[in-house]
């Protein structure tokens, strides 16, 4: 069961561990701002407020997509590491190696786009990247793929180290997931939720990364030896298996912050339960098998895969979310929670996750998918649960950590102003996308017709507010992380922190 001490001793960071964590988080917030500025540029271009040539637009779109997904994974990996290391032995070299490989991979991606002109988006769908139509060379595509491969290898190394640590303590991944208690027995009340969630991520995302690695290596072979022809449908399945799992893993790593931190702010235990274990076990299977819902419009896709994607889509979003939301709400009810930046962000993350699931499931229904999937409804739903949901989980941990330096969770006047600006900007931004999708405004188009630009302009205004709030958050977090730790901040209880 998660500790009720606001800042327990086993979370104290020192030396190389503190430096590594700071590097992760500072890199993440800086990249988030840069990627948001790129996103704002594209929205303003669609709104006709900026003149961005189409070729540059697709370069920016490729950078924004790959950059945001990679950065979100980097940040939530740090969330998982921060809490999981309390329960199992994690080797610092694996955590640092993941960071180094991320930077090398990011450098390859940046060079392939802004020096090589690559503009085939994060999906690198065969055979598009190899045929740049004079806009980019096969070498640029290869560099982009190598960058993605490096980032994936870094994540896989971290997962393998985490798996070794979990197996060392719990014997195997099944016991860590709590499978032995699904049908009976007395559940260990101290079995960590972070271990359950971390195990699910390790199982599902390792498979996804391996699928992506196969697609990347096959595509690289095709670039070097064009006579080696790939099956386009197989490649697409592997790519979307990788992509879906990789971005979903960010949610499941990020939610560990809710499990660990919310009880400290409510002052009430957040016990583990059989429904909790069932939901994570079921979701482990669902998240691995749900990816065909991205290919519902591919007529050549085997029917059984399309049916699997459809059926699992209706259930995949609910088990973990429902048990987490129910647990969070019951933990919050009549708790006299102290509303500070971390606690506000934790509750906001639950709302963002919940609200983002609804349009995702609607789009995952075949009849809706036929008319909605290639519209702005799709960026609407994934920005909803990433921007307002997952990023809020990450920011909650960041603000919590910097609160340790001041012996109390952050709650300044500027914090109280920055939070509603972020919330209102985020809501305006995502609902502009959803409304545009409802109006059948297409996605991924550099130039919009005059009839489409109203929602582009509204979305641009929302994006401006989000960027302003994120700039403040970034400065606040960087200053707090770089502040020298003070003595006596360990083991601070809730009453002490409130005082």
Q: Are 7 and 401 in contact (CB under 8 A)?
A: no
Total count of residues recorded for the chain: 499
Residue 443, number of CB atoms within 10 A of its CB: 17
For 152, the token pair is 């994936």
Residue 463, number of CB atoms within 10 A of its CB: 25
159 found inside a domain? yes
371 found inside a domain? yes
Q: What is residue 491's predicted lDDT score, i.e. its pLDDT?
A: 45
Q: What is residue 318's predicted lDDT score, i.e. its pLDDT?
A: 74
HSE-CB of 346 using CA atoms within 13 angstroms:
31
Indicate the helix (H) or strand (E) that contains 250: helix 232-254
Residues 412, 285: Cα–Cα separation, whole Å? 43
Residues 382, 434: Cα–Cα separation, whole Å? 10
DSSP state for residue 202 in the 8-state scheme: H
1 found inside a domain? no
Tell the residue number behind the tokens 């949610």, with chain if given.
251
**In terms of C-beta density within 10 A (0-12 exposed, 13-18 middle, 19 or more buried), how is residue 336 classed?**
exposed
HSE-CB of 382 using CA atoms within 13 angstroms:
17
Plot region of 225 (φ>0 → left; ψ -120 to 50 → alpha; else → beta): beta
Q: Are 135 and 62 in contact (CB under 8 A)?
A: no
Q: What is residue 487's predicted lDDT score, i.e. its pLDDT?
A: 54
Residue 95, number of CB atoms within 10 A of its CB: 25
Rg (CA), the chain: 22
The pTM is what? Answer: 0.93
Task: Of 173, 356, 172, 332, give the one whose Cα is nearest residue 250.
Answer: 356
Looking at 131-228, which runs of residues are DSSP E strands? none
Say which CATH number the domain at 397 has: 1.20.210.10
Please tell me the total count of domains within the chain: 1
DSSP state for residue 88 in the 8-state scheme: S
Beta bridge partners of 492: 7
Residues 316, 283: Cα–Cα separation, whole Å? 6
How far, rounded to the nearest angstrom, does the alpha carbon of residue 71 sit from its chain's CA centroid? 8
206 found inside a domain? yes
228 in helix, strand or coil?
A: coil
Largest CA distance in the chain: 70
pLDDT tens string, the chain, 499 residues long: the values are 566 888 999 999 989 999 999 999 999 999 999 999 999 999 999 999 999 999 999 999 999 999 999 999 999 999 999 999 999 999 999 999 999 999 999 999 999 999 999 999 988 898 888 888 889 999 999 999 999 999 999 999 999 999 999 999 999 999 999 999 999 899 999 999 999 999 999 999 999 999 999 999 999 999 999 999 999 999 999 999 999 999 999 999 999 999 999 999 999 988 899 999 999 999 999 999 988 888 888 888 898 888 888 888 887 767 877 888 888 888 888 888 889 999 999 999 999 998 888 888 888 788 888 888 889 999 999 999 999 999 999 999 999 999 987 777 888 889 999 999 999 999 999 999 999 999 999 998 999 999 999 999 999 999 999 999 999 999 999 999 988 766 544 444 443 443 3
Residues 7, 48: Cα–Cα separation, whole Å? 49
How far, rounded to the nearest angstrom, does the alpha carbon of residue 24 sit from its chain's CA centroid? 14
Q: Are 407 and 443 in contact (CB under 8 A)?
A: no
The residues near 420 (Cβ < 8 Å, ≥ 6 apart) are: none
4 found inside a domain? no
Indicate the helix (H) or strand (E) that contains 310: helix 303-316
Q: What is residue 57's predicted lDDT score, i.e. its pLDDT?
A: 96
Report DSSP letters for 120-146, one per residue: STTT--TTGGG--TTSS-HHHHHHHHH
Beta bridge partners of 375: 442
Q: What is residue 497's predicted lDDT score, i.e. its pLDDT?
A: 42
3 found inside a domain? no
The range of the structural domain enclosing residue 294 comes to: 9-498
How far, rounded to the nearest angstrom, does the alpha carbon of residue 397 sit from its chain's CA centroid? 14
Long-range pairs for 410-414: beta carbons < 8 A, 24 or more residues apart: 410/340, 410/341, 410/342, 410/476, 410/480, 411/339, 411/340, 411/341, 414/472, 414/476
């Amino acid at each position: 069961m998660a500790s009720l001490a606001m800042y327990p001793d086993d979370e104290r960071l020192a030396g190389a561990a503190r430096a590594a964590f700071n590097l992760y988080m500072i890199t993440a917030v800086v990249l988030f701002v840069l990627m948001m500025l790129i996103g704002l540029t594209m929205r303003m271009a669609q709104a006709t407020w900026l003149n961005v040539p189409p070729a540059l637009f697709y370069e920016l779109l490729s950078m924004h997509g790959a950059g945001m997904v990679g950065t979100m994974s980097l940040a939530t990996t740090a969330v998982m590491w921060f809490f999981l290391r309390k329960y199992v032995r994690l080797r610092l070299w694996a955590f640092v190696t993941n960071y180094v490989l991320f930077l090398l991979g990011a450098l390859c991606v940046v060079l392939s786009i802004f020096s090589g002109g690559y503009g085939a988006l994060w999906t690198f769908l065969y055979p598009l990247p190899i045929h740049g139509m004079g806009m980019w060379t096969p070498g640029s595509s290869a560099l982009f793929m190598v960058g993605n491969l490096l980032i994936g290898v870094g994540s896989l190394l971290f997962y393998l180290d985490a798996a070794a640590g979990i197996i060392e303590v719990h014997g195997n991944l099944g016991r860590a997931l709590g499978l032995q208690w699904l049908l009976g027995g007395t559940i260990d009340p101290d079995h960590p939720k972070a271990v359950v969630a971390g195990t699910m991520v390790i199982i599902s995302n390792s498979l996804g990364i391996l699928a992506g690695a196969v697609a990347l290596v096959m595509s690289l072979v095709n670039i070097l030896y064009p006579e080696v022809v790939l099956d386009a449908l197989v490649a697409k399945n592997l790519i979307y298996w990788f992509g879906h799992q990789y971005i979903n893993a960010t949610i499941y790593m990020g939610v560990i912050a809710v499990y660990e931190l919310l009880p400290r702010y409510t002052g009430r235990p957040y016990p583990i339960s059989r429904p909790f274990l069932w939901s994570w076990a079921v979701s482990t299977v669902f998240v691995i098998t749900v990816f065909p819902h991205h290919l519902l419009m591919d007529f050549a896709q085997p029917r059984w895969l399309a049916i699997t994607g459809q059926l699992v889509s209706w259930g995949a979003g609910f088990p973990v979310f429902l048990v987490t939301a129910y647990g969070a709400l019951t933990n919050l009810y009549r708790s006299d929670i102290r509303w500070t930046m971390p606690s506000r962000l934790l509750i906001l993350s639950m709302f963002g996750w919940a609200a983002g699931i609804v349009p995702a499931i609607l789009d995952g229904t075949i009849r809706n998918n036929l008319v909605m999937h290639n519209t702005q409804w799709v960026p609407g739903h994934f920005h909803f649960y990433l921007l307002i949901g997952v990023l809020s989980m990450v920011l909650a941990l960041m603000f919590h950590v910097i609160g340790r330096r001041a012996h109390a969770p952050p709650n300044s006047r500027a914090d109280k102003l920055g939070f509603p600006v972020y919330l209102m900007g985020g809501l305006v931004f995502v609902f502009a996308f959803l409304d545009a999708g409802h109006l059948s405004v297409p996605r991924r188009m550099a130039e919009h017709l005059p009839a489409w630009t109203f929602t582009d302009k509204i979305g641009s205004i929302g994006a401006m507010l989000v960027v302003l709030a994120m700039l403040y958050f970034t400065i606040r977090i960087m200053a707090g992380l770089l502040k020298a730790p003070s003595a006596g901040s360990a083991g601070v209880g809730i009453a002490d922190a409130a005082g």
